[in-house]
């Protein structure tokens, strides 16, 4: 079943940067609720969800009963198909059940970043007209109720379910995991309502369609204000199905999932891939903690770990100092960035992973590329993988023309999982999603004849230094070849003479020191003079989104401020 065999080397399309993977499995015409019902019949007594830090273990049958009760509870509060229900929570049992219940009830789930503060929260609530929000117990410094009450001061004096606020005029219902919070229904109360007041067959009468929009994921904010990307049942179910197939997820696999459930990456595997194949989801901790990932993977005998390269680097550091039995590990699924050759090698030699699988995706397109199980390590560390099943990809120049094979161009994707557009933003949608249904990613790629592809940068991140184009990824990869450098990020900063100058942030390896002149000396004679960073700052970390994507706009802002450019 090597999917790459669907391409013929003699095919005329191999001379241009276009590939279509017709796939070996048909698409699934299912809603999320139908997938849940199917899997809970098939795997009824298998363990489905394990949340060790909350002391929770649920079988497929048990979780379905609780999801159905909560879904009916939402209906009993007066929520109707198409209403927007937000979840604002770290990874917890309540978060997991809420998301499935919202989909089962035909609601549109709004996934809100657990790190949002009052201004960001209010923006998200009003952007998409949230009618109901489910909020977590306090976590670390984040008191969700207090932040919401600051945004919506009427909450504390309102009758539960009858909130009226000038600040968030469409928000009526607040549900809290904690009991006794003023102006709210408790999570357990809504669950009891569903169990006792709404007939079970009410859910089957909703007539939810698989082409209905079911989720709004806010773009991760690497540039500007977040936009709400609309995703359908069909897109999520099938993306999970094909991601799971490529990862070779099997019944009773145990999947350690530290990535956030409010992100599409967490949903793909954390719900749909595991649901279809009968695997068990293990949530290791409320928030990201590499020690918990290693410990829980050992105790729960996990076979698959999902994360970013940064997460896997941290796990390796933990396991060098602490002794865990991780012999059950089989697959490392990485996303958010490319795995270095060294990281792939370390995961296979220092840990027992047999398969390290890269994948490339976006909020707006789901997973478009993923490593094949047969890919050699050098393909895993240099490419984003091979196009997913039923996915078309092409690379285009600035005029929208397909570029020759081997030449860089902007990646465009057309598939079942492409967004339906940005909520209430027709103009911004039309900038990236064309009438022919091609989504323009803004990422610069180079495609190979095999169908694999590598990312070379962002169209908007390309630095124009006095007319010379500098691709940040190229300079970053070069800098990381220095034995003292752990990581590097390169970006442009304004310059009155050149238009832009090259700037770099560098993280050193432990106990290593370099000066700015040392870095520049290393560059001279190895890369073109115009690619050598003019400004270099040494840092302990980079600003990132919750999924580990570096936010270069924040680095640029800080550099301009620090250097007074």
Query: The domain spanning residue 143 has which CATH number?
Result: 3.40.50.980
Instruction: Select from 200, 218, 236 the last residue of a domain.
Output: 218
pLDDT of residue 462: 78
* Residues in Cβ contact with 430 at an 8 Å cutoff, skipping those fewer than 6 apart: none
Which residues is 464 bridged to in the sheet? 469
**What is the 8-class DSSP label of residue 170?**
T
Half-sphere exposure of 86 (CA within 13 A, CB side): 30
User: What would the pLDDT profile of 466-481 be if each residue is shown by its tens digit?
Assistant: 767 787 888 998 899 9
Pairwise CA distance, residues 184 & 334, whole Å = 39
pLDDT in tens, 428-465: 999 999 999 999 999 889 999 999 999 887 777 878 78
Q: What's the rounded Cα separation, in Å, for the pair 304 and 499?
A: 47
Q: Give per-residue pLDDT as tens, 259-273.
A: 999 989 889 888 999
Give the residue from 249, 192, 208, 243 showing the smallest Cα distance to 37: 208
- Residue 512 resides in a domain: yes
Instruction: Determine, yes or no, domain membership for 481.
Output: yes
Which pLDDT score is estimated for 173? Answer: 98
Count of all residues that appear for the chain in the document: 565
> Hey, which residues does 485 pair with through a beta bridge?
508
- Give the distance from CA 205 to its chain's centroid: 32
Spell out a b/e string for 198-219, using b for 16 or more CB atoms within 10 Å of the CB, else e: beeebbeebebebebbbbbbbb
- Written as six digits, the tokens of 300 are 């729960």
Tell me whether strands 280-282 and 108-112 are parallel, antiparallel or unpaired: unpaired
492/243 Cα distance (integer angstroms): 35
Tokens 């209430």 found at? 424
Give residues with Cβ within 8 angstroms of 55, minimum separation 6.
none
As given in the structure block, the two tokens for residue 71 are 């879904």
349 contacts: CB under 8 Å, gap ≥ 6? none
Please report, rounded to a whole number, the percentage of residues in the chain having pLDDT higher than 90: 77
* Res 47 pLDDT > 50: yes
In a domain, residue 362? The reply is: no
> How many CA atoms, within 13 angstroms, populate the side-chain half-sphere of residue 109?
31
pLDDT value for 277: 97
Residues facing 536 on adjacent strands: 504
pLDDT recorded at residue 8: 39
Rounded to whole angstroms, how far apart are CA atoms 492 and 467?
13
The domain boundary residue, chosen from 170, 192, 218: 218
| CA dist., res. 109 & res. 70, Å (int) | 14
Q: Provide the domain count of the chain.
A: 2
Q: Model confidence over 287-338: pLDDT tens digits?
A: 889 999 999 999 999 999 999 888 898 999 999 999 999 999 999 999 877 7
Confidence bin at 12 (pLDDT 50/70/90): very low
The reported pLDDT for the residue numbered 5 is 43
The pTM assigned to this predicted structure is 0.86
pLDDT over 70 (residue 217): yes
pLDDT over 90 (residue 340): no
DSSP 374-419: T--HHHHHHS-BEEPTTEEEEEE-TTSPBPBTTS-EEEEEEETTS-
β-strand pairing of 228-232 with 280-282 = unpaired
* Proportion of the chain above pLDDT 70, given as a percent: 96
Tokens 């620090």 sit at which residue? 562
The per-residue pLDDT for 2 is: 52
Distance between CA 135 and CA 184 in Å, rounded? 10
CA atoms of 281 and 278, how far apart (whole Å): 10
Whole-angstrom Cα Rg for the chain: 24
- pLDDT digits over 22-38, tens only? 999 999 999 999 999 99
Tokens linked to 548:
């580990």
3-state DSSP percent of the chain in helix, strand and coil, to 5: 35, 25, 40
Would you state the pLDDT for residue 7?
Answer: 42
In a domain, 20, yes or no: no
Taken in order 286, 292, 293, 298, is the CA torsion positive or negative? negative
The DSSP element (H or E) to which 455 belongs, if any, is strand 453-458
**Residue at 35 is within a domain:** no
Domain that holds residue 481: 463-563
What is the predicted pLDDT for the residue at 9? 40
User: Of 187, 218, 249, which closes a domain?
Assistant: 218
Residue 499 has pLDDT above 90, yes or no: no
| Residue 259 falls inside a structural domain | no
**Angle of CA points 329, 246, 253, to nearest 5°:** 35
pLDDT surpassing 60 at residue 220: no
Q: Which helix (H) or strand (E) holds 194?
A: helix 187-197
Q: Name the average pLDDT for the chain.
A: 92
pLDDT in tens, 525-565: 888 788 999 999 999 999 987 667 788 889 999 999 999 99
HSE at residue 77, side-chain half, CA atoms within 13 A, is: 34
Instruction: Kindly state whether residue 97 falls inside one of the protein's structural domains.
Output: yes
Task: Flag whether 1 is in a domain.
Answer: no
Instruction: Give me the CATH number covering residue 517.
Output: 3.30.300.30
- CB-based burial, 385-401: b 16+ in 10 Å, e otherwise: bbbbbbbbbbbbeeeee
């Amino acid at each position: 079943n090597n999917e790459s065999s669907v391409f013929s080397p003699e095919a005329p399309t191999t001379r241009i940067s276009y590939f279509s993977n017709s796939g070996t499995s048909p698409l699934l015409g299912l809603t999320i609720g139908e997938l849940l019902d199917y899997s809970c019949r098939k795997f009824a007594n298998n363990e489905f969800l394990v949340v060790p830090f909350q002391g929770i273990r649920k079988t497929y049958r048990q979780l379905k009963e609780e999801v159905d009760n909560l879904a009916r509870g939402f209906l009993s509060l007066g929520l109707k198909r198409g209403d927007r229900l937000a979840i604002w929570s770290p990874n917890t049992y309540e978060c997991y059940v809420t998301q499935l219940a919202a989909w089962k009830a035909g609601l549109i789930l709004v996934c809100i970043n657990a790190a949002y503060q009052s201004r960001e929260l209010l923006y998200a609530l009003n952007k998409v007209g949230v009618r109901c929000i489910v909020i977590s117990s306090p976590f670390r410094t984040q008191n969700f109720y207090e932040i919401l009450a600051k945004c919506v001061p009427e909450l504390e004096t309102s009758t539960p379910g009858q909130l009226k606020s000038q600040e968030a005029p469409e928000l009526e219902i607040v549900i809290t995991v904690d009991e006794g919070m003023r102006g709210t229904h408790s999570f357990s109360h809504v669950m009891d309502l569903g169990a006792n007041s709404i007939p079970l067959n009410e859910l089957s009468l909703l007539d939810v369609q698989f082409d209905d929009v079911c989720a709004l994921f806010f773009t991760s904010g690497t540039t500007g204000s977040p936009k709400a990307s609309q995703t359908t049942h069909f897109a999520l179910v099938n993306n999970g199905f094909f991601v799971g197939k490529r990862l070779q997820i099997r019944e009773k696999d145990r999947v350690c999932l530290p990535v956030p459930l409010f992100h599409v990456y967490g949903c793909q595997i954390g719900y749909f891939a595991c649901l279809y194949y009968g695997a068990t989801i293990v949530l290791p901790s409320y928030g990201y903690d590499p020690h918990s990932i290693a410990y829980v993977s050992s105790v729960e005998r996990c076979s698959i770990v999902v994360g970013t390269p940064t997460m896997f680097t941290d796990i390796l550091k933990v396991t060098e100092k602490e002794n865990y039995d991780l012999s059950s590990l089989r697959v490392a699924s990485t996303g958010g960035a490319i795995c270095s050759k060294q990281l792939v090698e370390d995961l296979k030699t220092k840990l027992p992973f047999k398969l390290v699988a890269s994948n490339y995706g976006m909020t707006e397109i789901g997973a478009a590329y993923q490593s094949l199980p047969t890919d050699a390590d050098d393909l895993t560390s240099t490419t984003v993988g091979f196009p997913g099943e039923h996915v078309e990809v092409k690379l285009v120049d600035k005029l929208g023309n397909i570029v020759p094979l081997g030449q860089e161009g902007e990646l465009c994707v057309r598939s079942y999982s492409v967004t339906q557009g940005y909520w209430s933003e027709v103009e911004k949608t039309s900038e990236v999603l064309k009438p022919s249904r091609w989504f323009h990613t803004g990422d610069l790629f180079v495609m190979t004849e095999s169908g694999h592809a590598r990312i070379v940068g962002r169209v908007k991140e390309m630095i124009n230094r006095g007319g010379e184009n500098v691709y940040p990824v190229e300079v970053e990869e070069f800098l990381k070849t220095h034995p003292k450098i752990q990581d590097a990020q390169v970006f442009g900063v304004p310059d009155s003479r050149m238009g832009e100058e090259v700037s770099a942030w560098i993280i050193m390896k432990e106990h290593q020191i370099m000066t700015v002149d040392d870095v520049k000396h290393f560059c001279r004679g190895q890369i073109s003079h115009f690619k050598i960073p003019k400004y270099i700052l040494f840092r302990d970390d980079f600003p990132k989104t919750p999924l580990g994507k570096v936010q270069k706009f924040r680095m640029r802002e800080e550099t301009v401020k620090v250097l007074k450019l």
